Structure 1
Amino acid sequence: MFKGFYRDRLSVGFSVLFPLFFILIFGTVLSGGAPSATKVVQVGAVPLIDQLPAQARQELGQALEITSADSLADAVEQVRKGEVAAVVQQDGDTLSVQYSSADQVTAATVRGIFDAFVNAANIAATGAPPTYTLQTSQVEDESLQAIQFIAPGMIGYGIAIGAVFGAAMTLITWREKKLLRRLRLAPVSTVSVVASRVVVSIVVALVQLVLFVGVSMLPFLGLRLSGAWYMAVPLTIAGTLAFLAIGLFVGSVAKTVEGGSGLANLITLPMAFVSGAFIPADSGPEWMTVVAKFLPLSYLVDGLKDVLVRGEGPAAAVVPIVVMLGFAVAVTLVATRFFRWDTA
């Protein structure tokens, strides 16, 4: 079983090198850097901005990178092309902001910044002191980096594809080579064969966990563990069993290695996006949040985030483990209905 895994370059690439590549790329690019300011073009004189005190102008510059232009048409064209987020100009007491709705997040950011800016200017113009003040702070430690959110998602994704591809490709290959039929007739119990596959998959998943966490903790990436991080081990085992069940299903219904590989990707890749392994699940439409509740990867990723970076205790891993084990049992029962010993 172990020889079959590390001799299969496709399985090793998808389960180890592929997630590790994402950790290194996303972690290096996103970790430690301050968010870039939104680019805005100022056309002509905008007294509301030009006459700001130095301190206020500096604070505005942290959110907006403002450049000047003489032509409104050229500036609007830059917005259409996505080169800048918005064009701002002032006519008397009216501040005009033109933006593109193609990027709704950036558009909302620009509108929010200028809305707050104009409201503050109106209050200042009245000469009355503000009744309310705003105090903001982040809930995480200031040293928290993007890798804290990237690593658990990539670990979960790596475990998922390692178990799915490992089980599916082994089953399909053995069926094509008539090895399953020989194992059935050989003096080796089916339980021994299945147990070997499960043990190998769990060991590979635990190696993935150690490797991915170790790489993520390198100084230039900066992962910091907090909470009951040791609960990542039972979470990994439960997740492996859940995705082994999916691999068993894929290996049972697919007739060729190519078909099995395509079906495995068709299941795991969309699941990674919907479950929050690549992007936060709640950043998508509402239906994604609903669907994620039925996917094992969402429980694995959320559980890993809770115990690795959110500082949660062992209890945070209980529900994800129970759900993934239940999922494993249910899918295994379904997969056995499609299982075949040979291609005939």
Structure 2
Amino acid sequence: MTAFTSLATAMVKGFLRDRMAVFFTFLFPLMFLVVFGLIFNGGGGDRTGVAVVGDGPVVTALEQAGVLELRRFDDPDAAERQVRDGDLPAAVVVRGHDVGVVYAASDQVASGTVVGIVSGVVDKANLAATGAPPTFSLRARSVEDASLKPIQFLAPGILSWAVSISGVSGAALTLAAWRKKQVLRRIRLAPVGPTTVLSSRVLVSVGTALVQGALFVGVALTPPFGLRLNGQWWLAVPLLVLGTTAFFAIGMLVGAFARTEESANGAANLLVMPMAFLSGSFFPLEDAPAWLRTVSNALPLRHMNDGMLDVLVRGKGVEALLLPSAVLLGFTLVVGFVAAKVFRWED
């Protein structure tokens, strides 16, 4: 127990003294959260801007609907120029009873939305002008859906990515540096077993992941970002632990082959960065090609992302942990076994 405590303490001190390691473990991923969170903050609530020329009941109805942001122009040519220049998706020109819509061919989604809204307003105005009662009626109501605001998606995904960086790089760099500096050789000659060495390093990695989780969630909860935790959010803690052990095992495998810290760092980034993009840490995978979603299902980071989303912001319970926990535990056992087989004490 004394050897375990001494090794863990030495690893923590070495980590804290390495400013670059502290930066890339905490501040570098946090920069992504802050930048993306500020850029996409409130992105779902913006109204579509539309140029409007003229006045009348149609324009009044569009204003009262509150769906479009109407920008007034006196000259129809100036309004159409806004569309041609790509500044606005559409322009509505009203001349008496004639309502014209000019829309951009490139932005079909926004243009279709504008045309549909204007068409509905015009149809309603025509029906009101005839004085005939409507044959059909429309009932609309809002419900709470499962869609997520940007920060609700970004915080769990970037946190999982940060844990993967810390787990893989921490194990790989430590093993490569200790092998190069003959530290592993000295430990092997000392009355300390490999289990004690690895378990102490795993403890440091788990502690780092828990600090990352508290830091990231704490920042995301602040008013500029507005993260909301739902349900049994504390179930993210076992996911952080299992994710750390899985990525630590991957780092052990990288560290078994890397001869220098530089090669270990390069190999770790080569594994983690593509995995982050393929696993949906920065953007949802719902609209990705089918082959990409299939590939992502084989990656541990994808399952950690899904689990963190479910328990942190979607309010799901223990059942949401079953598949991610099984995948992460399986990666830990399989990759850890392979890493143990190819592990080298010396070059």
TM category (shorter chain) comes to: 0.7 to 0.9
Q: Is 1:327 aligned with 2:334?
A: no
Question: In structure 1, the residue corresponding to 2:333 is in which secondary structure?
Answer: helix
Paired with 1:3 and 1:135, the residues of 2 have a C-alpha distance of 61
Distance 1:337 1:39, change over 3 A: farther
Kept in 2: contact 1:150–1:278 (CA 8 A): yes
Per the TM alignment, residue 7 of structure 1 is displaced from its structure 2 partner at its CA by 2.1
RMSD of Structure 2 on Structure 1 (CA): 3.1
Distance 1:164 1:86, change over 3 A: farther
Question: In structure 1, the residue corresponding to 2:85 is in which secondary structure?
Answer: helix
Per the TM alignment, residue 310 of structure 1 is displaced from its structure 2 partner at its CA by 1.0
Q: Is 1:14 aligned with 2:18?
A: no
Q: Which runs of 5+ in 1 are unaligned?
A: 101-105
Q: Is 1:52 aligned with 2:53?
A: no
Distance 1:67 1:289, change over 3 A: farther
Paired with 2:308 and 2:72, the residues of 1 have a C-alpha distance of 43
How high is the sequence identity, in percent, across the aligned residues?
40
Paired with 1:262 and 1:88, the residues of 2 have a C-alpha distance of 55
Question: In structure 2, the residue corresponding to 1:99 is in which secondary structure?
Answer: coil
Paired with 1:180 and 1:18, the residues of 2 have a C-alpha distance of 30
Paired with 2:180 and 2:139, the residues of 1 have a C-alpha distance of 67
Structure 1 counterpart of 2:68, one-letter code? A
Question: In structure 1, the residue corresponding to 2:104 is in which secondary structure?
Answer: strand
Question: In structure 1, the residue corresponding to 2:170 is in which secondary structure?
Answer: helix
Per the TM alignment, residue 29 of structure 1 is displaced from its structure 2 partner at its CA by 4.3
**Deviations 1:288-340 (CA, angstroms, capped at 9, x unpaired):** 32222111112112211211111111221122111111122222233345433
Kept in 1: contact 2:63–2:70 (CA 8 A): no
Per the TM alignment, residue 2 of structure 1 is displaced from its structure 2 partner at its CA by 1.0
Paired with 2:70 and 2:331, the residues of 1 have a C-alpha distance of 49
Kept in 1: contact 2:83–2:102 (CA 8 A): no
Kept in 1: contact 2:44–2:149 (CA 8 A): no
Q: After superposition, where does 1:1-344 map in structure 2 within 5 Å? A: 1-32=11-42, 35-41=45-51, 51-59=57-65, 62-66=67-71, 68=73, 70=77, 74-75=81-82, 77-79=84-86, 83-86=87-90, 95-100=101-106, 106-118=107-119, 121-122=122-123, 125=126, 129=134, 131-139=136-144, 146-343=150-347
Paired with 1:98 and 1:109, the residues of 2 have a C-alpha distance of 9
**Structure 1 counterpart of 2:5:** none
Q: Which runs of 5+ in 2 are unaligned?
A: 1-10
Structure 2 counterpart of 1:107, one-letter code? Q
**Deviations 1:170-197 (CA, angstroms, capped at 9, x unpaired):** 1111122122222223221111111111
Kept in 1: contact 2:89–2:111 (CA 8 A): yes
Kept in 1: contact 2:89–2:103 (CA 8 A): no
Kept in 2: contact 1:168–1:260 (CA 8 A): yes
Distance 1:11 1:140, change over 3 A: farther
Kept in 2: contact 1:172–1:257 (CA 8 A): yes
Per the TM alignment, residue 163 of structure 1 is displaced from its structure 2 partner at its CA by 0.8
Distance 1:38 1:321, change over 3 A: same
**Structure 1 counterpart of 2:4:** none
Paired with 1:130 and 1:15, the residues of 2 have a C-alpha distance of 64
Distance 1:37 1:150, change over 3 A: same
Paired with 1:309 and 1:73, the residues of 2 have a C-alpha distance of 43
Paired with 2:79 and 2:215, the residues of 1 have a C-alpha distance of 53
Distance 1:220 1:40, change over 3 A: closer
Question: In structure 2, the residue corresponding to 1:281 is in which secondary structure?
Answer: coil
Query: TM-score by structure 2 length?
Result: 0.81
